[in-house]
């Protein structure tokens, strides 16, 4: 099995599995990160806010450094 990696929105910390092929966050239109822009390590956890490889803070890419309270994409999962 291939390890799944995730695409992460630096603005709202939303993440989606890479196989969804989303490129931009549907919440805010930010470009989703596929890997760390600093060291290119893939994002292997949907809850990553910092790179596991180099400690890069993904939210620092956010053009408006405004930390509201992003409610995680946890709540209702239809199944």
Using CB under 5 A, list all residues that contact Zn ion: 9, 11-12, 14, 25, 27-28, 30, 36, 38-39, 41, 51, 53-54, 56
3-state class percentages of the chain: helix first, strand second, coil last, to nearest 5: 10, 15, 75
Q: Which is nearer to Zn ion, 19 or 57 (CB)?
A: 57
Contact 58, 8 (CB under 8 A): yes
CB of 76 to Zn ion, least distance (A): 18
Closer residue to Zn ion (CB): 9 or 33 = 9
Distance CA 28, CA 56 (A): 22
């Amino acid at each position: 099995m291939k390890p799944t990696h995730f695409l992460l929105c630096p603005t709202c910390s939303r993440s989606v599995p890479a196989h969804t092929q989303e490129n931009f966050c549907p919440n805010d239109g930010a470009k989703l990160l596929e890997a760390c822009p600093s060291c290119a390590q893939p994002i292997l956890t949907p809850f990553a806010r910092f790179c596991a490889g180099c400690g890069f803070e993904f939210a620092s890419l956010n053009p408006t450094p405004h930390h509201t309270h992003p409610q995680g994409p946890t709540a209702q999962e239809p199944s």
